[in-house]
């Protein structure tokens, strides 16, 4: 029996040694793309971060490594670590990563001035080209940043520019919602109504527009119109603008419906 356990330990030791050698060989010598893809797919776990550290040691000027490594930290709210990596990616390749950093500063950090600086710098680096940071029109994002700063005049300028960039039929209908919100805050109620109606002409499911119209019509004592839009907002509420990682500047909630219902009572 002792001999059996001795042999078992030897075999187990050989297996573990071979496994360790295989892992180390993979981490150090396998094709770069294979290791990069594995680390990217295992985003955030210790093994993934370890692989990225090895890849960065081997290719310290590869901006995609710093960018990809930053993503799980920023998703989880560890912004100090995430942005230290993202800033390095931007330094290495600003044209590729400035837009994403501006997007993150806008939507996650609510640092509107810093977001605008990134968007403006990116725009300067790409003349005669309409940028789309993280898939969204750059002027839509700039309009949103100015909205966050309560600079509604500049916000309107950029949302209108976004319409020019994409065309009236293709622009995100939230552009019209934001234009309506800006005009409302400037006291231009009829303009606000027109923009919200424009959003609804694109999609009747635009909950944000229904809620704003219900609010405006209630203020104007147009009870039936307010009630109609409130009912539509409740009916289509599941279509509201939503993101699991952050709150939008024009996010709406069920409590908004309750408040409007009480105001009409």
Domain assignments of the chain as residue spans, ordered by start: 173-265
Question: HEC states along the chain?
Answer: CHHHHHHHHHHHHHHHHHHHHHHHHHHHHCCHHHHHHHHHHCCCCHHHHHHHHHHHHHCCCCHHHHHHHHHHHHHCCCHHHHHHHHHHHHHHCHHHHHHHHHHHHHHHHCCHHHHHHHHHHHHHHCCCCCCCHHHCCHHHHHHHHHHHCCCHHHHHHHHHHHHHHHCCCCCCCHHHHHHHHHHHHCCCHHHHHHHHHHHHHHCCCCHHHHHHHHHHHHHCCCHHHHHHHHHHHHHCHHHCCCCCCCCCCCCCCHHHHHHHHHHHC
Low-confidence ranges of the chain (pLDDT < 70): 1-30, 32, 44, 264-265
Residue 57: its pLDDT value, please? Answer: 84
pTM: 0.85
Residue 214: its pLDDT value, please? Answer: 96
Residue 260: its pLDDT value, please? Answer: 83
Which pLDDT tens digit goes with each residue over 216-234? Answer: 999 999 999 999 999 999 9
What phi, psi does 76 have (nearest 5°)?
-90, 0
Residue 22: its pLDDT value, please? Answer: 45
Tell me which fold the domain 173-265 belongs to: 1.25.40
Which pLDDT tens digit goes with each residue over 89-107? Answer: 999 999 999 999 999 999 9
């Amino acid at each position: 029996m002792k001999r059996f356990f001795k042999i078992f330990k030897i075999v187990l030791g050989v297996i573990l040694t071979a496994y360790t050698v295989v892992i180390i060989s993979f981490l150090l010598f396998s094709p770069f793309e294979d290791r990069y893809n594995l680390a990217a797919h295992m985003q955030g776990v210790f093994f993934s971060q370890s692989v990225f550290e090895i890849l960065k040691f081997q290719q310290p000027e590869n901006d995609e490594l710093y960018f990809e490594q930053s993503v799980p930290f920023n998703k989880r709210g560890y912004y100090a670590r995430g942005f230290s990596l993202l800033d390095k990616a931007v330094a290495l390749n600003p044209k590729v990563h400035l837009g994403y950093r501006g997007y993150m500063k806008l939507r996650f950090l609510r640092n509107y001035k810093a977001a605008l600086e990134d968007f403006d710098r990116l725009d300067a680096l790409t003349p005669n080209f309409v940028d789309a940071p993280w898939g969204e029109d750059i002027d839509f994002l700039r309009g949103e940043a100015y909205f966050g700063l309560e600079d509604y005049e500049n916000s309107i300028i950029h949302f209108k520019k976004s319409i020019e960039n994409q065309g009236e039929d293709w622009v995100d209908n939230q552009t019209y919602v934001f234009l309506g919100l800006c005009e409302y805050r400037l006291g231009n109620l009829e303009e606000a109504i027109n923009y919200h109606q424009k959003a609804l002409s694109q999609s009747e499911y635009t909950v944000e527009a229904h809620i704003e119209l219900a609010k405006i019509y209630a203020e104007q004592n147009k009870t039936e119109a307010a009630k109609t839009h409130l009912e539509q907002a409740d009916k289509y509420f599941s279509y509201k603008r939503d993101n699991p990682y952050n709150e939008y500047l024009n996010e709406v909630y069920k409590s908004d419906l309750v408040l409007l219902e009480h105001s009409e009572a």
